Amino acid sequence: MRPNKRTSLLHLIYFSRLNLPAEIPARNRAIEDIARHAQKKNEFSVITSFLMVDQNFAVQILEGERTSVTDTFNRIVRDSRHRDVHIVEWREIAKRDFVHSFTTSVRGPASEAVFAKANLLPSFQRGTPKGSAILALAQQLQAESMTKQGIEHLFV
């Protein structure tokens, strides 16, 4: 009998258009509200995630047990702050790539160079982002964040 190599650990990448206020202070408060609530829910569900916001697009990587990731994604789809939600990648993984229950990176002066180098905005606008490019951007942003915190290596 062949051993079952399936894992219940999933990695899901989605992107959506955001329905957020246009004015910067209100928009920032809305993103902070999303982060605050998501972190609590993700900690409870043992999910790690990385949310990136580029103009009016959100792209997020969710990692966790199959049921938790599915339930979280379904909640996101029903959230009125998201529209045109599309799954980019859904696959089983052996280990997590991210360490925090919820991390957010909004394109701005501090992250502009990394977002510009990834150049994902045109693919978001066309509706054709690639999972590998999204994952690479998130990993780069996470690595830079960890370096700023004095952490050189991740042992995930």
Measured in whole angstroms, the distance separating CA 87 from the mean position of its chain's CA atoms is 12
- pLDDT tens column, 56-91: 999 999 999 999 999 999 999 999 999 999 999 999
DSSP class of 26: H
Do 52 and 40 meet the contact criterion of CB atoms below 8 Å apart?
A: no
Do 64 and 9 meet the contact criterion of CB atoms below 8 Å apart?
A: yes
121, 147, 94, 11 alpha-carbon torsion, rounded to 10°: -30
Q: How confident is the model at residue 148 (pLDDT cuts 50, 70, 90)?
A: confident
Q: Which of 57-71, 119-133, 135-149 has the lowest mean pLDDT?
A: 135-149
Q: How far apart, in whole angstroms, are the C-alpha atoms of residue 45 and residue 68?
A: 6
Task: List, in order of start, the domains of the chain with CATH numbers.
Answer: 9-148 (3.30.70.100)
